[in-house]
Chain A
Amino acid sequence: MLERKPVIFLLLATVVILIGTIVTMIAPFKWINDPKLKIAEVKPYTPLQLEGRDIYIREGCNNCHTQTVRPLLADVDRYGDYSKAGEFVYDQPFLWGSRRTGPDLARIGGKYPDSWHYKHMADPQSMIPKSNMPKYAFLQKPLDTSLTEKKMKALNFPYVQADIAAVQGKSELDAIVAYMQKLGNDIPWRKAAQAAVIGDLKNPYLEDKTVIPEGKVIYDKDCAQCHGKDLMGDIGPGLADLDKPDADVFKTIYTGIIAGGMPAFGDQLGKDRVWKVVTFIKSTQRK
């Protein structure tokens, strides 16, 4: 019957398509926009952050970087607290991505100091030798601010004229770094997730020089990009001849220094490997 009536067929096909659409695409708006999912600490983007986000979009960063941490051990230990719906309410468009050629960036904000990002964006391989990220040194040029106010208005983000003025004279690199530093950093997850180190902290390798090479391997991989290959410091302070108790060094590596831009390595490395790094770092002073 239908095989002879194209107009009725078209209408019926449209209805069939719309059923799943209504249930799984339109209805969820009500669930996602549930006021209970709102997070008060999550703030709209400032003009500079918004411009940075637009550069992230322009350069297609989302083709290699995701922005959602899943509630899975491998994700949470590697990137931080899992993502919540309320954290994305100002994201038009969303930038969750679909492929992690590079690491997830949902929690990159506050992980490193600004200087880490400037250096890394300009020449990723100088910090992570085997990285395949393109060099973005060309972002070191004046930011086009002609649309900034229009953009803020279009998205209904609050601002005062001083915010708009503050964008003048910034570079594209300044903007994208400002955006990076906001990512996932509105909620105090870093503080909440900071592992409390309890118990007596005693270096199990204090007398064991055999773990020093292994500690150096970990140091080269995870620490050298900021503290220098030779421990002389760069983005982070120099660590040669570090005159601090082993327990303090352990604590710093394990739990990080949130305000100082020192990431916590506890979840990723575990206690044993952190002690080996401590033993390596201190070996320069002990010899």
Chain B
Amino acid sequence: MSQQEGYADDVVKGFIASSILWGAVAVLVGVLISFQLVFPQLNLPPYLTYGRLRPIHTNAGIFGFGIGSFMAFFFYIVQRLTKTRLWSPGLAKFQLWLFNVVIVLAAVTLAMGFTRSKEYAELEWPVALLVVILWVIFSANVIMTIIKRKEEQMYISLWYIMATLVGVAVLYLVNNAGIPVSLFKSYSAYAGANDANVQWWYGHNAVAMVLTTPPLAIFYYYLPKATGVPIYSHRMGIIAFWSLIFMYLWTGAHHLLWTPVPDWVQTLAMAFSVMLIAPSWGAVFNGYFSMNGQWHQMRENYLVKFLVFGITFYGLQTLQGPSQAVRTFSAFIHYTDWVPGHVHMGTMGWVSLTLFAAIYYTIPRLYGREIYSIGLANLHFWLAVIGQLIFSISMWVAGVQQATMLHATNSDGSLHYSFMETFIELYPYWHIRAVGGVIYLISVLVFVYNIVKTITSGEPAQSAVKA
């Protein structure tokens, strides 16, 4: 059962296990830094300060949990959609080792202060170089498998997978261009406003090519698997796909509104951000319409619950995002806690819930065992949703309150509040956010326990559990 139809699935197991580990680390570090904001004495210089830990949190989340599980599910999905064994299982095995080595190196070097400071591109050049090698062998394996496929038609998930492979490659290579000074130090190849514009072209399209297209590939594969009915419209999926990958690349400068980057670049970014609502909601509607006649499964099938909440948070995320990309609203909430609130709805809501569903579906099939406890899976679901909502909502309220105070003026035009007067108002919200994080961490621990118990002592699979 573990080698279904001759597919190379051992490496899928390895990537799932690794990604869960790094996901738990990301959440744990996230909780730690959320407490550091409230209790600065929790900063333990030099290695464990907020400034050094925050990139470890984001890199563990994006690269460790995100990319790790995408590698797992791309391998899993591609083999099944092409009805073809992985092109090179040996290469994939090497990739699994290299992946874990890179993540460990990333965590260690970042803690030691070897950083290039550009968000989600912090890793110093030797580690970044290993990331490139990782991506090349990963892409080669996936693309060669697709080329040698036995199923002629390529399902929509494969489109998103291939776009991810080229998209990430282009982004990563351009933004990481640098001038090395030593093994542990390099400078960006670009300067000032140029560097900013390149960085946020990269940064926002990391959201596109890492936090959007891969989870969509996974969503489009697992929703029909979980519900047992096909996706509503393949054509809508295709239209949404091309418009999504076309429009996303124009929007990076919405992170740079009101900065010295040329106005026309900002305006284009603003316009395309609003236009992105259409393809984003194309995917959301495709998900919802696929549920026609199947909504009762929300009650009966925990996998569907994860996926439908996931795509719902994606829908909310892609409405809130464009609103923030508008100059007037950006002037108000940019640089406040509103933005971390927004980001975490996407990561803890959309991406994570989708990945949890994929892991719950796949693990029993890889190991030939039933899931250990559906009750615990439901507990995991509710704790994750509640933890995330506490996090995001408290940050939105904090952001709006601070923004209001920062912009308040007296009748003579002077500012009503000093920076510190606005700052101290944030502490209560930061306490609440930390509580939300702890709840989310507990949900992850419940999830890990359930998965471990499934692998070690789940009931042997019934006939229903098949690929």
- Give the CA-CA distance A33 to B261 in the complex, in Å: 11
- Give the chain B neighbours of A150 by CB distance below 8 A: 181-182
| Nearest A residue (CB) for B410 | A270
B288 to chain A, nearest CB (A): 24
- Give the chain B neighbours of A92 by CB distance below 8 A: 179, 187-192, 195
- Looking at B147, B166, B336, B406, which has the most chain A CB atoms within 10 Å of its CB? B166
| Chain A 18-51 per-residue mask, 1 if CB under 8 angstroms from chain B, else 0 | 1111011100110111000000000000000000
| B372: Cβ under 8 A from any A Cβ | no
Which of the residues A54, A96, A136 comes within 8 Å of B45, measured between beta carbons?
A136
Contact (Cβ within 8 A) A9 B154: yes
A201 to chain B, nearest CB (A): 15
| Chain A 122-134 per-residue mask, 1 if CB under 8 angstroms from chain B, else 0 | 0011001011111
Contact (Cβ within 8 A) B335 A99: yes
| Chain A 254-271 per-residue mask, 1 if CB under 8 angstroms from chain B, else 0 | 000000000000111111
Contact (Cβ within 8 A) B196 A94: yes
| B233: Cβ under 8 A from any A Cβ | no
Given contacts A60-B49, A93-B199, A150-B182, contact A268 B418 (CB under 8 A): yes
**Number of B interface residues, CB 8 Å?**
97
Given contacts A32-B194, A88-B260, A130-B424, contact A98 B49 (CB under 8 A): no
Given contacts A18-B170, A138-B46, contact A98 B412 (CB under 8 A): no
- Give the chain A neighbours of B247 by CB distance below 8 A: 20
| B249: Cβ under 8 A from any A Cβ | yes
| A61: Cβ under 8 A from any B Cβ | yes
- Give the chain A neighbours of B159 by CB distance below 8 A: 9, 13
Given contacts A13-B162, A136-B45, contact A70 B193 (CB under 8 A): no
| A78: Cβ under 8 A from any B Cβ | yes
- Give the chain A neighbours of B38 by CB distance below 8 A: 132
Pick out which of these stretches binds chain A: B24-32, B50-58, B96-104: B50-58
Given contacts A20-B249, A63-B55, A154-B181, contact A78 B170 (CB under 8 A): no
Contact (Cβ within 8 A) A62 B162: no
Pick out which of these stretches binds chain A: B85-93, B251-259, B444-452: B251-259
Contact (Cβ within 8 A) A10 B195: no
- Give the CA-CA distance A138 to B115 in the complex, in Å: 19
- Give the CA-CA distance A194 to B143 in the complex, in Å: 62
Contact (Cβ within 8 A) B191 A89: yes
A8 to chain B, nearest CB (A): 11
- Give the chain A neighbours of B197 by CB distance below 8 A: 24-25, 28, 32
| A6: Cβ under 8 A from any B Cβ | yes
- Give the CA-CA distance A249 to B412 in the complex, in Å: 20
Which of the residues A78, A125, A134 comes within 8 Å of B50, measured between beta carbons?
A134
Q: Is chain B's binding surface mostly helix, strand, loop or mixed?
A: helix
CB-contacts of A77-129 with B (<8 A): 77-78, 83-85, 87-101, 103-104, 124-125, 128
| B419: Cβ under 8 A from any A Cβ | yes
- Give the chain B neighbours of A9 by CB distance below 8 A: 154, 159, 162
- Give the CA-CA distance A10 to B167 in the complex, in Å: 10
| A221: Cβ under 8 A from any B Cβ | yes
Contact (Cβ within 8 A) B181 A221: no
- Give the chain A neighbours of B413 by CB distance below 8 A: 73, 270
| A234: Cβ under 8 A from any B Cβ | no
- Give the chain B neighbours of A133 by CB distance below 8 A: 40
B269 to chain A, nearest CB (A): 7
| A155: Cβ under 8 A from any B Cβ | yes
Contact (Cβ within 8 A) A134 B167: no
- Give the chain B neighbours of A268 by CB distance below 8 A: 414-415, 418
- Give the CA-CA distance A28 to B256 in the complex, in Å: 13
A95 to chain B, nearest CB (A): 6
Given contacts A103-B419, A132-B38, contact A95 B117 (CB under 8 A): yes
CB-contacts of B167-210 with A (<8 A): 167, 170, 174, 179, 181-182, 185, 187-199, 201
9 contacts between A and B (CB under 8 A): A16-B246, A25-B174, A88-B191, A98-B335, A99-B336, A130-B427, A132-B40, A134-B50, A147-B181
Q: Which 9 A-B pairs have the closest CB atoms?
A: A270-B414, A88-B192, A60-B51, A20-B249, A134-B43, A70-B258, A93-B188, A85-B260, A58-B113
A-B contact sample (19 more), CB < 8 A, given A13-B166, A18-B170, A23-B268: A6-B147, A6-B149, A13-B163, A14-B170, A21-B170, A24-B249, A28-B265, A31-B265, A85-B260, A92-B188, A93-B188, A94-B191, A96-B259, A124-B40, A130-B423, A133-B40, A134-B43, A134-B45, A273-B414
